[in-house]
Structure 1
Amino acid sequence: MSAAMAKPRVACISQARMTSTRLPGKVLMEAAGRPLLTHHLGRLARCRTLDALVLATTVNGSDDPVAGLAESLGVKVFRGDEQDVLGRFAGAAAMAEADVVVRVTADCPLIDPALVDRVVTAFLESAPSLDYLSLDVTRFPRGLDAEVFTRAALDAAAASAVEPAEREHVTAHLYRRPELFRIGAPLAPEDGTVLDQRWCVDEAADLELVRRLLGALLPENPDFGWQDCCNLLRQHPEWADLNGSVRQNTLH
């Protein structure tokens, strides 16, 4: 990104809905005395590279509590079609007047603001410039996922994607087409480790693990990072077995 150019406006958009198939209502379930969505949005608020934070939920009445909680935390809300998540993101990005979009999902209450900042910074500083960059989800625990892409690429995908999976998974239209979009190599942990763990919440077993992590870490260090989770799990290796059998739904 040329220093002479105005700094692009970076908006983080998180998606949430009450009707998740495996654990309905999960984003409002509590851990350490607060809803998972409150933990998630509070951690994102600590990011230093973001100019805006938006929650993208649906127009369904069942998602009124999701929208209400976000608004009570000072987070702007965009509401759109439940199935067309790509269209919902494009609408949220337009509302936020974003030049660059960060995509995260609200079932990640342990998301690390420093990692989000790392992906955004790498994206903005890339030469030549990129259309899409993400954390390497095969090497980081799931639940830290962050993707960064240009608003122009998002709008192109929203205008062109027809396959239902590409309307649902938002960025699939981009990373499946390296001939059309400039895709950066996914960012791996700086120490080269591979951690095959799940810190996102899709099932009750995931929620139990997250409750233990938040319950142990928050009283000692409210600003804990992902390595603090790793250290705690080394002290309690049996905790990682709680959700070891849960499978990740993914297109990657």
Structure 2
Amino acid sequence: MDKPRVVAISQARMTSSRLPGKVLMPAAGRPLLAHHLERLARTPGLDGVMLATTVNAADDPVVECAQALGIAVFRGDEQDVLDRFAGAAALVGADLVVRVTADCPLIDPALVGRLIAAFHDGQPLDYLSIDSNRYPRGLDAEIFPRRLLDEAAAKAADPAEREHVTPYIYNRPDRFRLGSALVPDRPVDPVDQRWCVDEPADYKLVRRMLETLLPANPGFGWQDCCKLLRDHPEWVDINRSVRQKTLH
């Protein structure tokens, strides 16, 4: 049996309602999207990386950023993200899809690689994810076969399933083989961290982290991020209000 082709597909657009243009905001001299894509591309076990964006002219700069890094791009419907992912997966010839979002510039390639390895090991699975309640937010990733993405794109009728891509799979445990989400080996310290960029306070924190970590350790991982925040406990307060808001 041929080895399945594993491709990471990340979604990005300029028209975020809470922080428009966030993916191209600068940090350490480069757009957040460039940090995200370059880190993602270092993931062990990946055969390719693709960016899925929209056909809107506003997203032309997103396309240019990705293409400058040698990342393939698929452009599709802004609202039907599920169909956009299915089109991207077909274009790149993926057998297994790793889904991530471009508002995660601190994504950890080693952790995504662990997700891919875990999906291959043991009993056959249809879906596996990183537990975003146990890891800091902003490290999120999920993996599933393209055939299920195609099925979801053909059959999903709920608007939430079209927007969020994978609920069609993980909300049907009676039909699909769902693996136990990956959790850290030990509790995260500091706890309750949020490293995805949705609001200005998130951007302020993540930019500060990138500009501190990159000069000394370009290949930093998520544990290095935790250590940085332990060394600078006052930084934890930067986006505390956003974290508290998302809990309610």
Q: TM-score, normalised by structure 2?
A: 0.96
Tell me how large the CA RMSD over aligned residues is: 1.3
Once the two structures are aligned, what percentage of the paired residues are identical? 68
- Counterpart of 1:178 in structure 2 is 173
Shift of 1:248: 8.6
Q: CA deviation at 1:193?
A: 3.8
**CA gap 1:248/1:85 in 2 versus in 1, 3 angstroms:** farther
Cα deviation, residue 192, structure 1 = 4.2
Query: Which of 18, 24, 28 in structure 2 is aligned with 1:22?
Result: 18
What's the TM-score once normalised by structure 1's chain length? 0.95
Matched, 1:144 2:144: no
Aligned length: 245
Q: Aligned pair in 2 of structure 1 residues 78, 249: CA closer, same or farther (>3 Å)?
A: farther
Distance 1:247 1:223 in 2: 26
- Check the 8 A contact 2:5/2:47 in 1, yes or no: yes
Give 1:245 shift: 1.2
Corresponding residue number in structure 2 for 1:89: 85
Partner amino acid, structure 2, of 1:167 = R
Hey, what's the Cα distance between the residues in 1 that align with 2:112 and 2:129? 9
Are 2:45 and 2:117, in contact at CA under 8 Å, matched by a contact in 1?
Answer: yes
Q: Secondary structure at 1:185's aligned position in 2?
A: coil
- Range that drifts further, 206-215 or 190-199: 190-199
Q: CA deviation at 1:238?
A: 1.1
Equivalence map 1:74-113=2 (5 Å): 74-113=70-109
Contact in 2 for aligned 1:123/1:148 (Cα 8 Å): yes
Unaligned runs of 5+ in 2: none
Deviations 1:189-214 (A, max 9, x none): 02244731100000000000001101
CA contact (8 A) 1:153 1:181 kept: no
Q: Which residue of 1 aligns with 2:126?
A: 131
- The residue type paired with residue 132 of structure 2 is V
Call closer, same or farther: CA 1:91–1:6 in 2, change over 3 Å: same
Residue pair 1:18, 1:63 contacting (<8 A) in 2 also = yes
Equivalent residue number for residue 154 of structure 1: 149
| Runs of 5+ unmatched residues, structure 1 | none
1:236 corresponds in structure 2 to 232
3-state secondary structure, aligned to 2:216: coil
Runs of 4+ more than 6 Å apart: none
| Structure 2 equivalent of residue 227 of structure 1 | 223
| Gap change, CA 1:249 and 1:111, over 3 Å in 2 | farther
Task: Point out the more displaced range, 220-229 or 240-249.
Answer: 240-249
Q: Distance in 2 between matches of 1:189 and 1:243?
A: 23
Alignment match, 2:69: 73
**Counterpart residue type for residue 6 of structure 1:** D
Once the 2 structures are TM-superposed, how far is the Cα of residue 75 of structure 1 from its aligned partner? 0.1
Which structure has the highest helix share of the two? 2
Deviations along 1:165-201, one digit per CA (max 9) or x if unpaired, are 1100001111111111111010000224473110000
**SS of residue in 2 equivalent to 1:162:** coil
Write out per-residue CA displacement over residues 133-182 of structure 1, whole angstroms, 9 at most, x where no aligned residue: 00011000000000000111111111111111110000111111111111
Cα deviation digits, residues 109-142 of structure 1 (max 9, x gap):
0000000000011001131x11100001100000
Matched, 1:216 2:216: no
